[in-house]
Structure formats: structure tokens, C-alpha cells
Chains A and B, each alone.
Chain A
Amino acid sequence: MKKYKRFFVSMFITVFVLSGIVIAIIVSSGPKSTYSTSAYVAVSNGAGIIQENSFDILSCTNEEDEFQLEIRSGSGEERMLKFEISFLVNYEQTYFYLNDSKEPVRNYIFSGQDEFKIRIDKSSFDLKNNQLIINIRQDIEVTSKSNELVRDSNTINLRYNVINSEKTKESNHDIYIVDTIENYDPAEGAGVVCQIRCVNREDQALIKIAKNEDLKMQLEVGGSTSAGEYVVIAYLNSEQTEIDNKSNLYLEVDKNSIGMKQVEITMPRESGEYELEVFVIPLPFDYIDSDAILQYNVVSAQRYTIEVE
């Protein structure tokens, strides 16, 4: 037995040292940081929760002949999250009235869980097939600068067709052609592509800009196997800002292609910190086919924190 002592001692030391190395490799190869959010939204017209992507404006008209929705929203996380909600009608941010207020607002911040009523002037819905987007930014106190993991946006964009049978007008907008086109072979389920990156400075989460300076960025949009038209909108916090001096930018891109265009995003004239989000909406004025919802989802590019000096 004595003659095996050295053998056993050396074997145990080897096992101990190697196990330590293997555990160190496993631990160090795991994720270094994680981040999660969860939220719920119930949009109701008073008669019940709206689950379809298409509905008639009359089903959401109140006694004062205003467009009215009841919204219940909040976080599923244990930590307290702050949310900011805003509305776009036909890809233009619209004013709304909160509960019984007579003061129009552009956005509303709430935390935890909340239930409120919003009213929008019906004249905003001036097309036969109007597009309503409910934009809810989640965990608004966490910026791209402070946590890289929120750069893949968590903003909720609920998209609806609001049919106004009293109108006959169709959308009439200029469509812009992209600067260059690249062929794109989408993998199955790859979906619509939307990317932006800086063109005249280092591409990083925090962008510092001088006062009165606008931001030049390279926009890449496309990737759908069927869609040809996209609309691009930009948000600073929960305020829509202009792209190439327009509130929204309609682009035409061939199927299975990525269109690239250099754009200028209007920056605020007041000093401060803003979170920039660029959204792309494919098939902007189509009737949403619920069975092919992935084709119609609003897609977000990477977020940036903008510091206006």
C-alpha cells in the first residue's frame, strides 16, 4: 500500500489542479452581463381588449366624437421600471389628451403599473386606411451609454390599421431612392434589416455633438423577401425628430436587397442627453395580415446616447 502512496498523492493533486482549471474556463466563458425586461399592454376600446391589428375607427369613437383608447400597461419585473408612451398616426407623432385633461401632450411617463385613457383628435385619421403606432419605451432611465445591452432596443411598437370608412383618401407620399443597393440572401426567418452607423466619427454608444450640429448617419434598410417599401422614423427620447428635414422617410428597396442611404438626423438645439432610436416599418400602408405578422413588425436599429454640448 505504501508503495502506491506517491501515486495516489500525485493523482489527487493533478485532479484538483485540473478541476480548478476546467471550472475557471467554464466560469470565464459564461456571459459577463445580463439584462432583461418584461412588460404587458392591454389596449381596449371600452367594449373589450383589442387583439386584432385592424379595426374600424367607429369602434373607438367616444361621445365627444374623439378617438379614444383605454390602456393598461406595466412591468412584469420585480424592479420598478419607468415607461414613456407616445402615438404616431400615419408615421407622424400626434398630440393626445390624457384621461379628462384638456391639455394636449406628446408623451406620458408612468412607472410600475398604470391604467389610463387617451384621446386623439379624429381629424388626424384623414386616410381610409390609417396607421396607428403605440410606442412605449421601457426602462427609460437606462441609456445606451450606461448599459451596452440596451442598445438592442426594448421599445414596444404596437401597429394597427385604423379604418375610417368616411374617408376615401389614400396615402400620397414621395418615395426616395437609396444611394446604393447590395444583394442580400436572407437566412430563413432573418426578417427585415435596419441598421444605422456613424459616418464622420467613431461608431460608439455615446455620440457627442456640438450645439446646432446635426448627425450624419449611414442607414441600411431592407432584407425582406417580398416588401419593397419601407418608412423610416427617428426618435429622440419620445420625441420624433426629422430625417433629411422630413418627419419620415419613405424608401423603395428591391426584394432580397439592402438599400443604403446617407441621412442627416436633426438634433435638438438644447444641451442635454437624448436616446436616439431609428425605426423601420415595412409595407407602411398595407393592410396587416395577422398570419404573416413578422413581415409587418416595426424593427429598430441599434440605439445611441446623444450628448448635445
Chain B
Amino acid sequence: MLKRLVKKSVLTGVLVGTLLVASVTVWGISSQVEGKLFTLNPLLSNPKGYALTTGYKNITAKCSASKDGVINSQTKSSYASTGGSVETNYVSGPTFASSGTTFKSTHRGYNSTGIYQIKSNSKSY
């Protein structure tokens, strides 16, 4: 009987501990505004990319693709008033050839102490 009780409390302790670590990690990740620009250069289509932002409040992610001398640049933005993460749809470079294509992402939002943070990343092929 005692053995069973000990087993049960150990299991509960492990479960609660896991949940605590997970929630602190999630809070830690989203308490500051972070952002990443993901780009791909597939062999069989135009180069493409998207932006991902994590943060605490009023977060936006913006991604644009442009190429020198080509007018058709694309921009996409996403917004979330609550924290967590937000990502844009894929934007594609204007031509099949990636050379000269530039991707730019902008990540904005408030951190958990109310400070406005802005990050931007650019990549050029």
C-alpha cells in the first residue's frame, strides 16, 4: 500500500515538474520579441521566404521579396494582439533566377515589461 502511494506521488511530482518547466520555457520564449527569416531557394521554382515572430503582445511579422530592376515586389504581414507566435505566408521572389533577389523580414512587438522591440533580417541571393 505504502509502495503504491510513494509511486503515485513520485509520478505526480514528475508530471507537475514537467508542466512547470514547459510553461516557464514557453513564457521565457514569448516574453521577448524574437524573429526569424526563413528562405528557400528551390531548384524548380522562384526563391521564397517567410517571417516568424514570437513575443508577448501586439506582435507583427512582415516579409518582403524584391529584386533590382524588377517592379513586382511582394510583401506580407501578420498580426496578433496577444502573445505567442505569428508567421506570414510565403512570399516569392519575382523571377525564377534567385540571383539579386532580396528577402527582408521585420519583427515587432512588446515584451513582457512593455518595451517595444523591433528586429529585422535581410538576405540577398
A-side residues, CB < 8 A to B, are 29-43, 48-49, 51, 72, 76, 148-150, 152, 154, 156, 158, 187-191, 193, 195, 203, 290-291, 293-294, 297, 302
Contacts and interface: CB of A to CB of B under 8 A. Distances in A.
Given A42-B115, A294-B79, A37 B120 contact: yes
B96 interface: no
A44 to B, nearest CB: 9
B89 to A, nearest CB: 7
What is the predominant secondary structure among interface residues of chain A facing chain B?
A: mixed
A49 B111 CA distance: 12
Contacts of A36: 119-122
17 contacts: A29-B41, A30-B41, A31-B124, A35-B121, A37-B119, A39-B117, A40-B117, A41-B115, A148-B124, A149-B124, A150-B122, A187-B74, A187-B89, A190-B77, A191-B62, A293-B60, A294-B77
A191 B75 contact: yes
Given A31-B125, A36-B122, A189-B89, A158 B98 contact: no
B102 A152 contact: yes
B62 A291 contact: no
A189 B125 contact: no
A101 to B, nearest CB: 25
What is the predominant secondary structure among interface residues of chain B facing chain A?
A: strand
A38 B102 contact: no
A152 B66 contact: yes
Contacts, number: 105
Nearest to A154: B120
B23 to A, nearest CB: 24
Nearest to A37: B120
B88 A189 contact: yes
Contacts of A76: 117, 119
B76 A190 contact: yes
Contact of B98 (A29, A42, A149): A29
Contacts of B60: 293-294, 297
Interface of B: 39, 41, 43, 57-58, 60, 62, 64, 66, 68-69, 71, 73-79, 81, 88-89, 98, 102, 104, 106, 110-111, 113-125
A34 B117 contact: no
A156 B115 contact: no
B122 A42 contact: no
B81 to A, nearest CB: 6
B122 A34 contact: yes
Given A29-B98, A152-B122, A190 B75 contact: yes
Nearest to B114: A49
B123 A34 contact: yes
A198 B102 CA distance: 20
Contacts of A35: 121-122
B34 to A, nearest CB: 9
Given A187-B76, A290-B81, A31 B123 contact: yes
A34 to B, nearest CB: 5
Given A149-B102, A152-B64, A189-B89, A31 B39 contact: yes
